[in-house]
Each structure stands twice: as structure tokens, then as C-alpha cells.
């Protein structure tokens, strides 16, 4: 595409002048889709593929698999469901924020309450979009994140950012932040109902190692039993309240 007089290239395209041929090369925004429902992924892919500046480079239905794919593909934007299988979207966000800071994460969620929104922001998400939002809002969020900006669904924006700022400035020590990556993975899988053997298989460690990590995380969070662990996970916004 040539840069004609009076014609402005869309701001969300990545532009670089090619001196050899004298035109501007256009690079599309690479996107990875992660949702544990295949039907949802298919719908997202159809929606976003219709955008001329979007390139869907892969998709995933599992949290741990998503982390590996992002490390491998290095997409500009990850559209991530909050409630993934394996480790959830919050933990995926937390790990990728450290491992792949060049990938902007757009959380797609059905949850509008403060616990989920703030936890997503704290974990490093650049955008938080409600699943009930119009498709145009997701498209805009992806473009904003690709350009280095943050975006929240309109009903959340002012309230969430204000609360997030106040909570950050308070600098209250959070016991959950003291957990190791492995302990958070085991915490989430336990909260989802996985046994030690199942967790060991998913994380490629022994059941005894799982039990050791679980004992340590229970101590750090001052939890006495499985019921308290579930209650903590719900309060924290890590799993949905079954009620």
C-alpha cells in the first residue's frame, strides 16, 4: 500500500519504511486466542479474522498450554479467557508478564465484580473486556493494547482504575503474592478439584512434591482445610462461586 497524499495509514498498523523499494511495509497485529471452549474460540477467530490488520497465529484451550504457545509464538496480543482449564487466566497473565513482557494481554471475562478486575490488573493485564460487550469493544481493546495503551470495558473503567490506584498506593502486604509460581499453580488446580495425582501429572512432578507445596501454601495463606482454600480462591477471584 502506497502512502498517497492526504491518505493516513491506520494508526494500529505497524509501519516501517523500506528504503530499497520506497514504500511503507505493513505488519499485521499477531494475536493468540485462549479459551477453554472451542465454540467460543471459533467465534472469536471468525470475528477477528475479518479485521484486515489482525493475524490469528494460534489458539489454546488450556492455561499451561497457553503459556508455552506464547513463549513459542511471541504474539503481540493474547486474548485470554479468565477461567481457563489448568491454571486460570490470572496465573497465565502473571507468568507471561514476566516471561513475555512484549505480549499485551486482553482478558475476556463474564465477571464484572471488582475482585476479578483488580486481580487481572495486578497480574499485568493491559485490557479487561466483558463478554457481554459488543464485538467492536474487543477489537478496539486489541488495537489499544497493540499500541501500548490500557483499555477497560466502559462500565468498569473509572471505578476499576481508581480502586486499583488506591490499592497500589496502600502497599499492603499480600500473602498470596508471597507464593511461588509452583505454589500458585498447585493452589489453583487444587481449588478446581484436582487430586495430588492429577496435579502431579499436569505439572510433571511427583505427588509427594505436590503435597509439600500444598502444605507450604496453606501455611503461608493461614488456611486450615480444603473448605477454607475454596473460600479463599472464590474471594480472590481465582475460581467462580458455584452458587
- DSSP codes joined into one string, 207-225: HHHHHHHHHHHHHHHT--S
Q: Are strands 104-109 and 23-27 parallel, antiparallel or unpaired?
A: unpaired
> What is the CATH code of the structural domain delimited by 175-236?
1.10.10.10
**DSSP assigned state of 175:** G
Q: Which CATH class name applies to 27-170?
A: alpha beta
The count of other CB atoms within 10 Å of the CB of residue 173 is: 6
Query: Distance (Å, rounded) from C-alpha 56 to C-alpha 161?
Result: 29
Per-residue model confidence as pLDDT tens digits over 105-116: 999 998 887 767
Per-residue model confidence as pLDDT tens digits over 38-90: 999 999 999 999 999 999 999 999 999 999 999 999 999 999 998 888 888 98
Query: Distance (Å, rounded) from C-alpha 35 to C-alpha 63?
Result: 9
Query: Distance (Å, rounded) from C-alpha 150 to C-alpha 88?
Result: 21
Q: What average pLDDT does this structure show over 80-107?
A: 92
Ranges of H-type helices in the chain: 38-49, 63-73, 89-99, 114-123, 135-146, 157-170, 181-191, 196-203, 207-221, 226-236
Residue spans per domain, the chain: 27-170, 175-236
Provide the terminal-to-terminal Cα distance of the chain, rounded to the nearest Å. Answer: 54
* Range name among 15-24, 52-61, 135-144 with the lowest pLDDT average: 15-24
* Range name among 45-49, 50-54, 98-102, 153-157 with the lowest pLDDT average: 153-157
pTM of the model: 0.75
* Range name among 16-25, 43-52, 142-151 with the lowest pLDDT average: 16-25
Per-residue model confidence as pLDDT tens digits over 198-212: 999 989 999 999 999
Amino acid at each position: 500500500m502506497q502512502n498517497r497524499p492526504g491518505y493516513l495509514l491506520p494508526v494500529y498498523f505497524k509501519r516501517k519504511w523500506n528504503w530499497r523499494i520506497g514504500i511503507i511495509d505493513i505488519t499485521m497485529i499477531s494475536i493468540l486466542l485462549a479459551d477453554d471452549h472451542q465454540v467460543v474460540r471459533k467465534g472469536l477467530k471468525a470475528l477477528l479474522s475479518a479485521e484486515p490488520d489482525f493475524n490469528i497465529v494460534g489458539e489454546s484451550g488450556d492455561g499451561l498450554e497457553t503459556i508455552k504457545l506464547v513463549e513459542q509464538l511471541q504474539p503481540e496480543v493474547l486474548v485470554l479467557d479468565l477461567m481457563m482449564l489448568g491454571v486460570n487466566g490470572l496465573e497465565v497473565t502473571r507468568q507471561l508478564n514476566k516471561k513475555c513482557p512484549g505480549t499485551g494481554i486482553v482478558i475476556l471475562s463474564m465477571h464484572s465484580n471488582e475482585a476479578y478486575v483488580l486481580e487481572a490488573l495486578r497480574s499485568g493485564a493491559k485490557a479487561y473486556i466483558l463478554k457481554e460487550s459488543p464485538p467492536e469493544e474487543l477489537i478496539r481493546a486489541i488495537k489499544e493494547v497493540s499500541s501500548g495503551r490500557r483499555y477497560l470495558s466502559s462500565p468498569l473503567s473509572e471505578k476499576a482504575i481508581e480502586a486499583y490506584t488506591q490499592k497500589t498506593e496502600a502497599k499492603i502486604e499480600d500473602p498470596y503474592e508471597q507464593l511461588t509460581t509452583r505454589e500458585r499453580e498447585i493452589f489453583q488446580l487444587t481449588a478446581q478439584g484436582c487430586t495430588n495425582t492429577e496435579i502431579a501429572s499436569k505439572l510433571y512432578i511427583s505427588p509427594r512434591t505436590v503435597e509439600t507445596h500444598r502444605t507450604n501454601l496453606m501455611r503461608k495463606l493461614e488456611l486450615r482445610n480444603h473448605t477454607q482454600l475454596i473460600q479463599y480462591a472464590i474471594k480472590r477471584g481465582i475460581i467462580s462461586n458455584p452458587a
